[in-house]
Every structure is written in C-alpha cells, then in structure tokens.
Amino acid sequence: MPTSPLHRVEPGTAVDVAAIDAADTSAAPGDKDETEEASAQLAERMAELQEVLWARREESVLVVLQGMDTSGKGGTIEHVMGAVNPAGLRVTSFKVPTEPELAHDYLWRIHANVPADGEIAVFDRSHYEDVLVVRVENLVPEDRWRRRYDHINAFEQLLVDEGTTIVKLFLHISKDEQKERLQDRLDEPDKHWKFRVEDLETRSRWGAYQDAFSEAITRTSTEHAPWHIIPADKKWYRNWAAATILVDVLKGLDLTYPKPEQDLSDVVIP
C-alpha cells in the first residue's frame, strides 16, 4: 500500500491523542515562511499527480478528515487541494444525518460518496462520526457503536481491494487553540457564519471526545488504511504535513499516463 511515514500511527499502537503535542512543528522543513514555500510547491506537485490519476481512471483516492470543531478541516481542503483540477475532485461534508440517512445503516450515505476511478474524494467528517459524536452523545447503545470498529475496518478493506487508496488525517488541536479560534469567530463579524452556539457544548465534552478519538484511531489504524495524527495548532505546519502525506501517497501509486488507444505517430493535423 502506498503510504507516508509522516505522523503515521503504526497498526496495533495504543494511541492517547491527549498526550500528543498539538503545537509540534519539529518535522517542518524550515521556519514558517520556508514551510509555506514548501507547501506551495507540494500543492503544484499534487496537481500534477492528480492529473495522471484522472487521465488513467483506474484507481481512486479517499481522504478522510476528522478533528474537533475549528481544527481546520475546511482550511486544509482549501490549501492542500486548491491547485487540483476540480473536475477530478469531490468533497463531501457529512452533517447530522437526515431522516432517510438515519433510516439506513450508517455506512449507506458514506458508500454513496466514495470516489469513482480517477477521482480524489475528500470527506469532511465521515463514518468516524458514528464512533465519535454518536458515542459521546449516546446516540446509540454502546454495544451497537462498539461493533462499528470492525465494520469500518472491513468496509475500508473492501474499498482498498477494489482500487481505492485511503488516507486518514486526524487534525489534532489543543483546547486552548480552539478557544482562540472560537473567540476569533465571535470577534470578527465576517466569521460569525462559522460560529454555532452548540459547538460550545461539544467543547465542554473535550475529554470524552479525546477518548473517543484515541480509541477510534487505535482500533482502525490498519495496514490497509492507517491514520496520521497531524499536530494542527499551527496552520502553516498542518497544511505542510497534510500536503506531504498526500503527495507521498500519490507518488507511491507510481502512476503513468495511459497509452493512447490508437497509434498517433503518423497523425498530421491538416
């Protein structure tokens, strides 16, 4: 499986996200400016690699983004995917399930949005909500959500077996950093649209969410679909780390442009 070593959670490791420094930038290639420069180059590289993926239409990539509110899921998509041809990109934000979604199994809406051959699909939240918010808010009984780790591993194995490469990124921020970002949203009228009072309730259960993330990552970081825990307090570092991981994975696919179906060597444009 193509993968990246950066912040990768080795399968079988017991993870405690609360013990990981969210402000760590020690793997950065330089200071903030140098790292931003490196990120810009990675974004270009990503666009080139995606063009080959799109031209071939033989395999696909699924990027799963998870993290607490304000962790930067949207900003990561904007910065890391900004140079990619939108025709081959598909972003899905998973919200509170609708009535028809709730009337089906929890993977129903997820499976409907996985990438087609040639596409990169990005999930802004995902099936992992069904072992995160669902667990913390007690939306289904424990014995029911506990079985989901196995379902998720099997579901992801199915996707991988059928030609999808899965990249799972947990954007890890500290509680203090979240406070600052929420305060910014309150202070700046142009950011009010991002502020939801309910997010404060989620914040009040910070510890329970950290536990839920820790167990989810521990149980679902597999050889076929490993997690990466990205320290995300510094946006410039987060963008660089996410871009590095994605470029590593795309390069690892070793893709080449498809051969033309016809011999083009004698073609003359009249």
Binding site for ligand ADP (CB under 6 A): 69, 93-97, 125, 129-130, 133-134, 196
Task: Report the residue closest to ligand ADP, judged by CB.
Answer: 129
The letter for the amino acid at 19 is A
Write down the least CB distance from residue 2 to ligand ADP, Å.
28
Residue 94 CB, nearest distance to ligand ADP (Å)? Answer: 5
Q: What is the smallest separation between the CB atom of 64 and ligand ADP, expressed in angstroms?
A: 13
Smallest distance, Å, CB 100 to ligand ADP?
13
How does DSSP classify residue 126? -
Smaller CB separation from ligand ADP, 72 or 118: 72
- Taking phi over 0 as left and psi of -120 to 50 as alpha, with beta for the rest, 27 belongs to alpha
Whose Cβ is closer to ligand ADP: residue 2's or residue 75's? 75
Q: How far is CA 254 from CA 59, 130, 137, 165, in A?
A: 11, 34, 43, 12
* Closer residue to ligand ADP (CB): 31 or 105: 105
φ, ψ dihedrals at 168, nearest 5°: -115, 120
Could you tell me which residues come within 8 angstroms of residue 257 by beta carbon, excluding any fewer than 6 positions away?
52, 55, 56
Q: Which is nearer to ligand ADP, 54 or 209 (CB)?
A: 209
Compute the C-alpha angle 42/44/46, nearest 5°: 70
Radius of gyration of the chain (CA): 19
Return the number of the residue (42 or 68) whose C-beta is nearest ligand ADP.
68
C-beta of 104: minimal distance to ligand ADP in Å? 11
Both ends of the chain: CA-CA distance in Å? 46
